[in-house]
Structure 1
Amino acid sequence: MIMPSDAVDVRVDGPVGTVLLNRPDYGNALTRAMMAELRQAIGDLHLEKRVRAVILTGAGDTFCVGRDLAELAGGDDPLADMARWGAEAEEYRDLLVAMLEFPKPLIAAVNGPATAGGAGLVLGCDAVIASDQATFGFTEPKRGSVAGVAGPLLAHRAGAGVAARLLVTATTIAAAEAHRIGLYHELVAHNLLWARAFELGSECATAAPQAVMLTKRLLYDTIGEVLGPQLTSGAAVSATSRTTDSAKEGIAAEAEGRAPEWP
């Protein structure tokens, strides 16, 4: 069962909508309810005709640290856990696909660390404006799991070599490095981040809506036939990785604030 949440806020300023991940005390970690709300927010802004571009950002000093670890922990029923982990991986895949298929420009305003599933949200956006305080990385292997869903999207955005290095080393890189390799398209001072994202969204709004929609459809159609099955396979790998003893130890170590002891 997915519990309701109020951790995703939406506002509209002229032709630009802003979707705010609003769990700052938890690094804006994604719960299942938040993923559902985020998809709903994207769908609502799709239908809002006055909105011509959308900004995705995080509250506080973090963009998003990925999935909520409390939800990833296993219970007393291994079969139920496996079913839940599979459903969660599919929900995250569906969220990224919804972002890729969104017919309006989607701009990530990365205000701080974007790691694990949060880094995947960045990759789901068309343009990325980042604060000089932002970081980027897929930390899942350090918790005994795999960035299965976002991995193929990372390879698409940055190339196989960059993807291999980031995924295998589980390295978190600084904003300047993420900018150098093309993951962050523009860096700005922290206090100017939303203003610059809004400026870019307003610039997008001067283009013909139908032309932008068709352009985005073309972009997704070009990659969707190949990337779609890869994301599905990645979701299966991600769910499988959560059933391992390594994932159990990684999540426990994170919760207890200690170094993991890998089996």
Structure 2
Amino acid sequence: MTKETEQTRQLPGDLITLLDAAERLPGADELRARSYDLLGVGPGMSAVDVGCGPGRAVAELTERGVKAVGVDPSERMISVARGRWPEADFRIAGAYELALADSSVDGYRADKVFHELAEPERALTEARRVLRPGGRITLLGQDWDTIVIDSDDPALTRSIVHARADLTAGPRAARQYRNLLLDAGFDDMTVEVHTGVFTGPAMLPLLAGLAEGARSTGAITNEQSDSWIAEQRVRAEADRLFLALPMFMAAATAPR
């Protein structure tokens, strides 16, 4: 994960656990694989994974024969990634300053990153700089205002979703991918939406996090947060939980 004010960002103690859990969700492997396909890199080609977190995408790209570099502003994340994938190339760097040479990579990938950037345009300027002419970029992430949750109290649910969204720097960045890429001068734009539907207890930590985030802003009370989380637990136990999470994936080509 990446955020710029990035260099001084404090990571939540359980962020790596949450990222690992997200990678185990149904459909996550297929989503990553689709992002690699859209990136269009193969054996002997090079790519940078921006906001690489614990490094799984770098390892998977390397398995495809790609010369992959993972960058993240967090020393802790890079330390974990190096521990898990000691043969891979991981570097401490943020999305605004990648510490790569001009026109040095064939692919640029950023997964669940741009919603954390205060200046996404600046990140795309940097992407243009490091990509070779004709290189490919793939952006993947969720729109934080577009999370569908069934609940007995839809008004409270709406308040929770929007209040939690407002805690991120760019909660609607995913819906802006296409226009951001156009503004940055990229060509051959494609946008896909892959919606995960979840009905089991595995999503309870995410739902609890939404409510706790909303409570921390003062948008809802402690009692409302506790009640809403309790309802979702009951739903999960009764096989009545429903959460739909659209993931937006945009790909484009750097000008030749």
For Structure 1 versus Structure 2, the TM-score category normalised by the shorter chain is under 0.3
**Which structure has the larger Rg over C-alpha atoms?**
2
Structure number having the greater helix percentage: 1
TM-score normalised per structure 1: 0.27
TM-score normalised per structure 2: 0.28
